Amino acid sequence: MQRIRLRYTKRGRLRFTSHRDFQRAFERALRRAEVPMAYSAGFTPHPKVSYANAAPTGTGSEAEYLEIALTEHRDPERLRKLLDESLPEGLDITDAVEARASGLADRLTASVWELRLEGVGSDAAERAVSAFLAAGAVEVQRRTKNGMRTFDARAAVAALEAVDGAGDRPGQGPCAILRLVVRHVTPAVRPDDVLSGLRAVADLAPPVPAAVTRLAQGLFDEESGMVTDPLAPDRDAAPAASHTAAGTADATVPEGAGSI
């Protein structure tokens, strides 16, 4: 069985698709592309697809990940192109590697988010960011299926900064952009929780809902503060795996078998 790890996007209007909607679209793409999927056992077999830390409905993303299991070997790049052609525009498969290292979910420990705040000036955003970062804890509430839950949104935030986003849209009023790095903790802290925290500590309330996009997710490096590519370990392991396979093949050839 071969396992392939894929990176995909949710862009434009497709950001409003739910995770269940994406699952249905992706399974249709698997059938269109004639991917030799492995299936689960039982009375209702399902294709073996593992989704990792999907973004909330309504948020865009440049870095969603999943893993599929195949019954036949396929070239990852060829498979990527076939699946990308079978999905609607906005759901784009941007990367594919063969799984060669430890579990993918274990490498997704943090996310980088961009929050566009229309109608908010950069000065107001910077003041709110400073107040949020200076706070020892920022308690927010979120409604869950078990009722309202209160938790600290500050502890999960590894980095937060404000930049002026009006320069790329002159004449359209103020627009602040927040760059946010959030660790994946329990309970999960989402971008809207951070926005609730900014409202609580600095009364920052954008006149329109923020446009939220996940730019990256992966392992968080505490020393550099960077979020690294979670597919890099699979790429790094590929040459070593190929070399090992070649060495094993050479070792099994009887002496003199290659001579004429």
The stretch 44-68 carries a mean pLDDT of 94
End residue of a domain, out of 106, 137, 172: 106
173: three-class secondary structure by DSSP: coil
> Quick one: pLDDT at residue 198?
97
Choosing from 85, 106, 127, the residue where a domain stops is 106
**Does some domain include residue 151?**
yes
Global pTM exceeds 0.75? yes
Of the pLDDT bands very low, low, confident and very high (cuts 50, 70, 90), residue 196 is very high
3-state SS assignment for residue 169? coil
Would you say residue 231 has pLDDT above 70? Answer: yes
Residue that finishes a domain, picked among 106, 129, 145: 106
The predicted-structure confidence for 135-187, as pLDDT tens digits, reads as follows: 999 999 988 778 888 999 999 999 999 988 766 666 678 999 999 999 999 88
Percent of the chain with pLDDT over 70: 89
Phi, psi of 68 (to 5 degrees): -120, 155
- What is the structure's pLDDT at 241? 52
What's the distance, Cα to Cα, between the start and end of the chain in Å?
A: 36
Residue 234 lies inside a defined structural domain of this protein: no
- Tell me, yes or no, whether 132 and 183 share the same domain: yes
Q: Are residues 26 and 77 in the same domain?
A: yes
Residue 99: CB atoms within 10 Å: 19
Examine the domain organization and report whether 62 and 17 are in the same domain.
Answer: yes
Q: Return the pLDDT at 102.
A: 83
pLDDT score for 120:
94
**Angle at 151 (CA atoms; ends 183, 147), nearest 5 degrees:** 120
For residue 120, the domain's CATH number is: 3.30.70
Q: Give mean pLDDT, residues 180-201.
A: 95
DSSP conformation class of 47: B
What mean pLDDT do residues 30-50 have? 93
pLDDT tens-digit series, residues 77-123 = 999 999 999 999 999 999 999 999 888 999 999 999 999 999 999 99
Please report the pLDDT score of residue 168 as a whole number.
67
The CA distance from 131 to 236, in Å, is 41
85 with 96, same domain: the answer is yes
pLDDT at 248: 42
Domain extent, residue 88, equals 2-106
131 in a structural domain: yes
pLDDT at 254: 38
Same domain, 113 and 212: yes
Q: Please name which of 187, 188, 193 lies closest in space to residue 160, comparing C-alpha atoms.
A: 193
Rounded Cα–Cα distance for residues 71 and 107 (Å):
25
In this predicted structure, the answer to whether residue 260 has a pLDDT above a threshold of 60 is no
Tell me if 215 sits within 8 A of 106, measured CB to CB. no
CATH number at residue 25: 3.30.70.580
Interstrand relation of 93-98 and 49-52 (parallel, antiparallel or unpaired): unpaired
102 and 116 housed in the same domain: no
pLDDT at residue 251 tops 60: no
Torsion angle in degrees (nearest 10) through CA of 207, 160, 173, 213: -80
Statement to judge: residues 94 and 119 lie in one domain: no
In a domain, 233, yes or no: no
Q: Tell me the percentage of the chain whose pLDDT exceeds 90.
A: 77
pLDDT at 257 over 50: no
* Number of residues that make up the chain: 260
Same domain, yes or no, for 116 and 212?
yes
With respect to residue 258, please indicate whether it lies within any of the assigned structural domains.
no
Based on the domain organization, do 100 and 182 belong to the same domain?
no
Query: 59 and 126 in one domain?
Result: no
Residue 237 falls inside a structural domain? no
Do 114 and 208 share a structural domain?
A: yes
Is the model's pLDDT at 259 over the cut of 70? no
- The answer to whether residue 259 sits within a structural domain is no
Q: Is residue 134 part of a domain?
A: yes
Say whether both 9 and 80 belong to one domain.
Answer: yes
pLDDT at 29: 97
Alpha-carbon span 219 to 197, nearest angstrom? 25
Domain count for the chain:
2
Q: Quick check: 246 pLDDT over 70? A: no
